[in-house]
Amino acid sequence: MKINKFKNISLLLGLLVLLFSACESIVDEKELENSTNIDGVELVVTQNSNGGNLLVLEMATPGVTGYWDYNLGIALTNKVEIIYPIPGTSTFTFTGTLGAEFFEKSIDVTIDVLDTPLDQDWYDLVSENTAAGKTWVFDGVGGDGGLWWFMSDPSNKPWSVWWNAGGECCPPSDVAGKMHFDLDGAANYTYYSSADGAGQKGSFVLDVTNQTLQVNDQIILGGVDGGGNGSGLFQIVELTEDKMVLYVPNAAWATGWTYVYVPAE
């Protein structure tokens, strides 16, 4: 009986060894390799005319994948068509993988004429004279009872008024200020804390598709006193030639905040 017991134990151990051996995963140790080098990545830009602003950006090298950064947005593809609103020389960057490593490569494009019309939102924001631009101010003054700078519902309800700060009692300290948008060589934003104050330069990104306005390196008019959220990103509620309404659902006090502007006279 003892001999049989030992045989059974040995057999069991042998089966366990075979079982664990069979369950071991097979590891493919083949290393990733580059399909080309950075010099071999071909970036091509096709314009609709000589110096025109309808562009096709293409990364034309097989086996390479990535995305385009065209300054006003990101295209998660090797090829994209855009209508670019800014005259002058602009740099577009492709970020991708060669197979074993990531890379960035850029190409410069000169635009001499805006011969393809822009989306109307661009003209509403910066005027038909895109290089000269357009200046915006608040649609009201402190204590006038109007709705132009107020606390709102944070659940994407920009016209649900929680506290009419500007129209009732407490306008922002830059209530008499202004802000200017233009496309003179770049998407330029200039903030003025008062009507006669010195301009502070920044930039902006208008996302027509997602209806957002991003202000970089400066605050928006009215953001100085906590109405903003620090990101510089605003939802566009309304944008016409005569009115611009912006909104953040996550303002400084865990509320929404709504801004209403009109063109300066």
- Distance (Å, whole) CA 147 – CA 141: 10
Q: Give the bridge partners for 153, in sequence order.
A: 157
232 with 142, same domain: the answer is yes
- Report the number of distinct structural domains present in the chain: 2
Please say whether the beta carbons of 211 and 235 come within 8 A. yes
- Alpha helices (H) in the chain, listed in sequence order: 2-23, 120-126, 165-168
What count of Cα atoms within 13 Å lies in the side-chain half-sphere of residue 181? Answer: 27
Phi, psi of 45 (to 5 degrees): -120, 125
Which one of 57, 86, 111 terminates a domain? 111
**Joined tokens for residue 161:** 């008024």
- Distance (Å, whole) CA 211 – CA 120: 12
CATH of residue 159's domain is 2.40.128
166 with 130, same domain: the answer is yes
The strands making up 43-47's β-sheet, listed across from edge to edge, are 43-47, 54-59, 79-83
234 with 140, same domain: the answer is yes
96 with 133, same domain: the answer is no
103 with 82, same domain: the answer is yes
201 with 101, same domain: the answer is no
127 with 174, same domain: the answer is yes
Phi, psi of 77 (to 5 degrees): -160, 165
pLDDT at 105 over 90: yes
**Joined tokens for residue 202:** 């920044």
CATH of residue 74's domain is 2.60.40.10
- Distance (Å, whole) CA 198 – CA 180: 12
182 with 69, same domain: the answer is no
For 131-175, how does the pLDDT look when each residue is reduced to its tens digit (9 = 90+)? 999 999 999 999 999 999 999 999 999 999 999 999 999 999 999
For 25-71, how does the pLDDT look when each residue is reduced to its tens digit (9 = 90+)? 444 555 788 889 999 999 999 999 999 999 999 999 999 999 999 99
For 188-228, how does the pLDDT look when each residue is reduced to its tens digit (9 = 90+)? 999 999 999 899 999 999 999 999 999 999 999 999 876 77
159 with 42, same domain: the answer is no
Which residue range(s) make up the domain with 245? 120-263
158 with 224, same domain: the answer is yes
75 with 158, same domain: the answer is no
**Joined tokens for residue 35:** 């399909």
pTM (predicted TM-score): 0.82
In a domain, residue 19? The reply is no
71 with 178, same domain: the answer is no
In a domain, residue 15? The reply is no
Given this model, what pLDDT does residue 252 score?
Answer: 81
